[in-house]
Each structure stands twice: as structure tokens, then as C-alpha cells.
Amino acid sequence: MKKTPDIPKCEMVKRYVRHLLKDDIIAYGEKLPSEHDLTEKFQVSRQTVRQAFGELTVEGLIYKEQGKGTFSNYKKGAKGSQIVAVVTTYLSGFVFPGIISGIEQVLSDEGYMMLLSNTNNIKEREAQYLKSVLEHNVVGMIIEPTASSGPNVNSRLFSVIREKGIKTVFINACYDDFDSAYVLLNDKKGGYTATEYLLQLGHTRIAGIFKTDDKQGVNRMQGFTDAFRTYGADGDQRLIGEYDTANMYDYPYMFAQSLLRSKNRPTAFFCYNDQCALMVIQAIHDQGLSVPEDISVVGYDDSISPLNSEVKLTTIRHPKQEMGVQAARFMVDMLEGRAEKPQYTHEPELIVRKSCRNI
């Protein structure tokens, strides 16, 4: 097979294995070519093949039996009218299109129908859609919990959904009182990593702006404060701003403005997400200041294309599509009896661009 130089070697192996599975060249339960065979075929290292196998295992497409080899876990077949409900807090915005695309990709390939809805982070709307799940022919639900840092006021509805055998996978966050499958990002570590980066650049007056009616924001803020403790730096509580969903389109800008007008302004901002970071950058510019010459900024989610942004934003990567794919794979595995309650937490990755500097 001729190699395509533009495709990473690991991805090349993965595409070939997917082709073997999804085009019925290797049936469900049959053995895959060995690591040695694929090493020879693609002229790659055994580590590359093992990485490809590892990622395909996470996707639920293959499994390994010790001493026997690697086997197909892909079962193709029409599921008729079986529906998986997908409930997110939002449909548009910075991370959700990627998540939804990943989910749809897997469910469509596996023959399931997808019923998509969003709560706008309103508990009453979450209750409405949970009731809808109970009333319709839904076999599974992938859900981002609404206002997840607060009480789970819809706990009873979730319990009824479980009692009826409807499989549930949480994404981005989960409720403490409802033990279930999930796909998360380690947001506490992400907050720590972003703040540590600024501290290592010499910043000590770092402002943090966090959306705190979601667990993601609470955890990112915890990582922020933990980094200060680790480095023995004195964080100024007056530099921490907290907001909720109702204020997410104006608070970051207004809070940043108030800090920038102060006598001892911060030298850097760590923002809950890239949307928040854009508002902070606008506030900086409106004060006649520049990024990163005057103020450094770190975002979160890696949801703004560097090609389409005036400021090339340093940020924490959110594996949007990968998380959607994995959540859907977990759902299919649960529905088809291959897993009971799979759980996975992605580790954060700092993407360094041009929005920060040493001081």
C-alpha cells in the first residue's frame, strides 16, 4: 500500500484498519493483522502501530486478548428506529459543533438515529428534555448536565431514566449523585497548567475570570488557585471574577475594564474560555493597551482559529470532536453489551501562541 506523505503515520494505520472493519473485510470478532504485519506493510515502527491500536481501542473499534492478538469490535447493522438523545447546554458556540459532529459521525455509522436538543443551561429546560426522553423511543442519552456546579434538581428524572434501562453518558461534566458513564476533560489540571505557564513567565498579578455555575469553571478556578499555592505566590482575591450564564456576554468585558483602570492593574489574564478571552482582549484594546506587549492573555478550549484572529491566543486545547466520538462509542458499547459504565478523562494540552510574554 502506497504511503501518503501528508498523513501522519499513526493516522495512516488507523485509516487502513477502519477500512478493513467498516468495509467488512474483517468481520466482527475476527482477528486483525498483527503488529508485525502492519509494521512491514507501512514501513513504520512498532510503537506507531501500537499507538494506532491504542486509539482505535479507545474508540471501541477493536480489542486485544492477551497472547491471542487484536480483534474487531466493530459490528455493523441497522438499528432501525432506535434513537439516542443528545442534550447539550448549547448547540452553537465555541466547542459544541465539534462535539455534536463527533457524536453524529459514530451514531450514523452504527445505524442509530440522533435526537438533538439544548437546554441553554436552564434547569427547567433540562427537565423538559428528560421527560421527552422518557416519552419517546429513546434507548440512550448523551448529556452535558445543566448548571452542573449546583444541585441536581432533576435527580428523580435521571433515576427514572436509569430504571427504564435507558443508557446515559455524561460529557464535559457529570452530577456527583448520579454514577454513570462519562467523557470529561481534566479542567482542574487545565486551570493549573494555564496559570503555571503565566507564573513561569514571571507574572504574579494574574487575573482569573471564571463561569462558576458549571463544574468546568469551578474546576478551572480551583486549578488557578492551586498553581499559586504550589509556586508560593500570593494571589490577590480581588483579581478573581466569577459570573454565571446570565452574565456571560457582558461580565468578562466589564470586569476586565475595571481591573485595567485600577492603579495596580494585572499583567495577565486567565480566562474561563476563548469567548471570555476575546472580551478581555477587546477591553484591553479599548484601554489603549496591547496583547501581549502590555497584558498577556490565556484562554481555554482552543476554539478560535489562529488564522481568523488578530491575536494568536495561547489556550488549553479542548478535544471537542474526539470527546464526541468517544462518548458515542461508549454509548454504542453500552447498548450492545460490550461495556457497563465506561469512564474516561482527557488530560489538558497547552497550546502556546503569541498572546503571552515574559516580564
Work out the average pLDDT over 255-270.
Answer: 96
Work out the average pLDDT over 108-114.
Answer: 88
242 with 304, same domain: the answer is yes
Q: What is the pLDDT of residue 305?
A: 72
325 with 178, same domain: the answer is yes
| Res 1 pLDDT > 80 | no
Mean pLDDT over all residues of the chain? 91
**Structural domain count of the chain:** 3
191 with 287, same domain: the answer is yes
Q: What is the pLDDT of residue 2?
A: 39
Residues 298-325 pLDDT 10s: 999 998 876 667 889 999 999 999 999 9
**Which residue among 318, 333, 354 closes a domain?**
318
In a domain, 29, yes or no: yes
DSSP, residue by residue, 100-156: HHHHHHHHHHTT-EEEEEE-TT-HHHHHHHHHHHHHTTEEEEEEPPTTTTS--TTHH
Distances (CA, A) of 234 to 227, 287, 298: 10, 26, 19
155 with 94, same domain: the answer is yes
In a domain, 351, yes or no: no
In a domain, 145, yes or no: yes
Band the pLDDT of 91: cuts 50, 70, 90.
confident
Pick the range with the lowest mean pLDDT from 107-116, 125-134, 167-176. Answer: 107-116
118 with 203, same domain: the answer is no
167 with 51, same domain: the answer is no
283 with 341, same domain: the answer is no
Instruction: Calculate ∠ Cα 323-325-329, nearest 5°.
Output: 115
Answer whether 144's CB lies under 8 Å from 116's CB: no
- At position 284, the amino acid (one-letter code) is I
Residues 29-78 pLDDT 10s: 899 999 999 999 888 999 999 999 988 887 778 888 888 899 998 876 54
| Res 343 pLDDT > 90 | yes
Band the pLDDT of 4: cuts 50, 70, 90.
very low
Grid cell digits, residue 21: 472493519
Give CA–CA dist 319/327, Å, rounded.
12
Residues 11-29 pLDDT 10s: 889 989 988 987 788 988 8
Work out the average pLDDT over 318-346.
Answer: 95
Q: What is the pLDDT of residue 237?
A: 93
Residues 157-206 pLDDT 10s: 999 999 999 999 999 999 988 899 999 999 999 999 999 999 999 999 99
136 with 92, same domain: the answer is yes
Q: Output the domain CATH number for residue 44.
A: 1.10.10.10
Band the pLDDT of 79: cuts 50, 70, 90.
low
Q: What is the pLDDT of residue 19?
A: 87
In a domain, 313, yes or no: yes
Grid cell digits, residue 281: 482582549
180 with 325, same domain: the answer is yes
What's the distance, CA 117 to chain centroid? 18
Residues of the domain holding 23: 9-72
220 with 204, same domain: the answer is yes
In a domain, 22, yes or no: yes
Grid cell digits, residue 87: 442534550
The structure's pTM equals 0.78
Answer whether 280's CB lies under 8 Å from 253's CB: yes
List, in sequence order, every residue forming a beta bridge with 242; answer none if it has no partner: 210
